[in-house]
Amino acid sequence: MSVFLGIDVGSVSTNLVLINEKNDVIYSLYLRTQGRPIEAIKSGLNSMLSYMPLGIDVKGVGATGSGRQLASMIVGADVVKNEITAHAVAAVNQIPNVHSVLEIGGQDSKIIILDNGIVSDFAMNTVCAAGTGSFLDQQAARLGLTIQEFAALALEAKNPVRIAGRCSVFAESDMIHKQQLGHSTSDIVAGLCEALVRNYLNNVGKGKDIKSPVIFQGGVAANPGIKIAFAEALGMEIIVPKHYSVMGALGAAILAREAVAHKEKSSFLGFSLINSDFKTSSFECKGCPNLCEVIELFADNTLKARWGDKCSKWTDIIEDAI
């Protein structure tokens, strides 16, 4: 059976998805990046290899996420796309007539508006941590709760309190103040969910034409309190797709299937790369005023790739050598 692999490397999670020729997900994996994207990619591929039965052939690979260039160089990707494109492709695959995509990940959030399956508008927030998965993780830990317990508590709220959600620092201070006033933990958690949704809609979603069908994806979509808060704020049904946590990787896999249709052979380097020792380094090119930071990738002490230079001066050296 022919399959296609999508890899989404983010600051918080690294996700891998295998699809068949009908875009059906046959395997998915969500891993914590933990600041070590190379190890996360290798670990994910190793887990996938142990799962795959004999006779399955990876015909194409796509990479996305903030670490897409690194992932592409390590595995030999056939297509490399940004997160907006990958998430939009996956959303359309799940809900063909989707109009609005709300995505909240570990360190950033985004909104995508589609018309007839084509991205017509989008926005990203990569500056403020308020409303992201990492902030929710921190607050859950501060309250002595697992993230699963934290998410479920919002459903028990009787009277959600108003939390200042414009900034993660102010939100945490306000939560502590509400605790000191004697409000229940469930009311505080529900209030935080509502605050994070307000923050998202007033910043990322400001001025956007949000219409149904609305899909909510990303790791934070696992939190039912956030979903309910979105539904109440927008007055619309919020759809959480089956593969909500790995939608970027799913989109990358679909794009890979489309890309290799026009290639004789995939660029995938195979699962043997799991045994390679990868290291990265960087230097600043002083060839022009751009002062580009050039990234180098070594596999078993052999220079395999460079990227980051706007003029391709250093990239071309590697390509010529190959």
Co-location of 223 and 118 in the same domain: yes
Query: Is 70 exceeded by the pLDDT of residue 266?
Result: yes
Is the pLDDT higher at 137 or at 275? 275
Co-location of 120 and 208 in the same domain: yes
Helices marked H in the chain — which ranges?
37-51, 68-75, 83-94, 133-142, 147-153, 168-180, 185-203, 224-234, 247-260, 313-321
Average pLDDT over residues 170-192: 80
Co-location of 129 and 57 in the same domain: no
Average pLDDT over residues 268-273: 90
Number of structural domains found in the chain: 3
Query: Is 80 exceeded by the pLDDT of residue 168?
Result: no
Distances from the Cα of 99 to the Cαs of 51, 87, 154, 216, in angstroms? 35, 13, 28, 11
Q: What percent of the chain has pLDDT over 70?
A: 93
Confidence category of residue 171, pLDDT binned at 50, 70, 90? confident
Question: To the nearest whole number, what is the mean pLDDT of the chain?
Answer: 87
Confidence category of residue 320, pLDDT binned at 50, 70, 90? low
Co-location of 107 and 40 in the same domain: no
Q: Can you read off the two tokens belonging to residue 132?
A: 């992201």
Query: Is 70 exceeded by the pLDDT of residue 157?
Result: yes
Co-location of 213 and 101 in the same domain: yes
Domain CATH for 159: 3.30.420.40
Its pTM surpasses 0.95: no
Torsion angles phi and psi, residue 118, rounded to 5: -115, 135
Co-location of 115 and 203 in the same domain: yes
Query: Is 90 exceeded by the pLDDT of residue 80?
Result: yes
Residue 52 is classified by DSSP as P
Co-location of 261 and 296 in the same domain: no
pLDDT at 189: 84
Torsion angles phi and psi, residue 291, rounded to 5: 50, 55
pLDDT at 239: 95
Following DSSP, what letter does each residue of 87-120 receive, concatenated? Answer: HHHHHHHHSTT--EEEEE-SS-EEEEEEETTEEE
Which structural domain range is residue 299 located in? Answer: 278-321
Co-location of 235 and 100 in the same domain: yes
Provide the β-strand partners of residue 214: 100, 238
Is the pLDDT higher at 212 or at 127? 212
Co-location of 310 and 295 in the same domain: yes
Co-location of 225 and 257 in the same domain: no
Co-location of 265 and 285 in the same domain: no
Query: Is 60 exceeded by the pLDDT of residue 58?
Result: yes
Question: What's the distance, CA 71 to chain centroid?
Answer: 14
Residue with tokens 């600043």: 284
Average pLDDT over residues 50-66: 85
Confidence category of residue 163, pLDDT binned at 50, 70, 90? confident
Co-location of 102 and 77 in the same domain: no
Average pLDDT over residues 168-192: 79
pLDDT at 180: 77
Tell me how far apart the alpha carbons of residues 240 and 84 are, in angstroms, rounded to a whole number: 18
pLDDT at 213: 95
